[in-house]
Amino acid sequence: MQFSASAPNESKALRGDDSSVSDKISLSDVSCGITDTHCHIFRTADSRLISLYPSVFNACSLNGEMPVVRDDFLLCRDEGEVDAFTEALVKLTGNSGREVFEELERLLLRSAEASVSEIMAPAVTHFEGLRNLRLLRVFSKAHADASFPEIFCGMGVHPMYAGDFSREKLKTEYELIRRVFSESPAAPEEKSVTADGHPVKKLFVGEIGIDKRFRDTVPLDVQTEALHEHLIFAVENHLPVNIHGVGGDNEILHELKRLNRVKGIIHAFTGNSSRAEQYLRRGLKLGIGPMLLATESHKLEEAVRYAGIDNLVLETDYPYMYMNLPENSSSSAPDTDSGGEQASADDSCFSPRRRSAASPDLLIHIVERLSEIFGIGKEETAGRLHRNVEELF
């Protein structure tokens, strides 16, 4: 979750001439499946649930435990509040549940049609991973006959909320998530642990990291300690990480060096080749998203070339980023010319016809750009990016 917009204007490849991305993209060219490695997909349900709060959740509270509204999502602070959240969802599914899940359903259908096969949904607070997994189960039950992308849930605490971090809560949530997988698998191949005792594949630790924009409210030493504990937990439990870094590259790299066995993704990478080399040396993949389609992306393009296709993964950071699209793009995602904290001072440089909220169904445009950069076909580009994700698990 970056809380920022992409750089203004369109990329050179997106200027509406005969070489524009939309003229060349064909979804039928990509059959292996695309993975969005950083997508807050469940925010689509949160907005509707918040509008119903507190009436529904008051009625479903267990022993007075009830989730609370925090920023743009419903925060569950412990297992009891997750239970109350789940009970409310089940009740709504039997009544107005279609309304609660309507936007989520539309987005997942668009994503499936755009060759997206997997979505990694990060958490930003304790118990959000468990909450999201429960929400996913209720949603899946209500849409048993639909074909949607597979969703992996993350767990962990964003640096913005690192003051709330607790090692014990992290361990408790992990055990509760394993219990959900064990007691009620969503698919036959889902198990709580693998044969060698490692955890289920569909779990990761993130969104964690360092963000110096919040150091006045969450001191840097608190953020760093939370990151360190998250990394230890991930290594001990053989889980990949998804790391957020704003102004904190040196601190993040120092913590990675201390452990030296971390695997995962550096989220929303926009650095230069030197910074890319440092993260690659520590075993991370680079999360490449909407910024690659920005006009001033030369530094990032150089870093991408340096890293090579086999060290990259795709992401959108939905709904917190924008994507520059060709004017004649056939995207079904609604154009947007306003947004809350995502907006930047450069928003006036966007044409509404070119700027769209970055969402998984638009990842094909980034696949196309990477295909151009590396001089390989879209099918091969998508296939190698997909294998990069598989290597993390």
Residue 194: give its domain's CATH number.
3.20.20.140
Instruction: Say which residues have a Cβ less than 8 Å from residue 236's Cβ, sequence separation at least 6.
Output: none
How many domains, in total, are found in the chain? 1
- Evaluate whether residue 224 is within a structural domain: yes
Token pair for 242 = 């998804």
Of 280, 276, 361, give the one whose Cα is nearest residue 314: 361
Ranges under pLDDT 50 in the chain? 2-28, 185-199, 332-353
Host domain of residue 120: 12-42+107-392
Token duo for residue 78:
């412990």
Give a yes or no: residue 80 inside a domain.
Answer: no
Q: Please count the other Cβ atoms lying within 10 Å of the Cβ belonging to residue 188.
A: 6
Residue 73 falls inside a structural domain = no
70 belongs to a structural domain: no
Decide if 52 is inside a domain.
no
Q: What is the pLDDT of residue 30?
A: 59
- Backbone torsions φ then ψ of 182, nearest 5 degrees: -70, -40
In a domain, 5, yes or no: no
Quote the pLDDT of residue 343. 32
Is 113 contained in some domain? Answer: yes
d(CA 391, CA 215) in angstroms, rounded, equals 34
Which pTM does this prediction carry?
A: 0.84
Q: Tell me what pLDDT residue 88 has.
A: 86
**Which pLDDT value is given to residue 62?**
74
Which of 113, 7, 131, 119 is closest to 67 using CA atoms?
131
- Per the domain annotation, does 79 fall within a domain? no
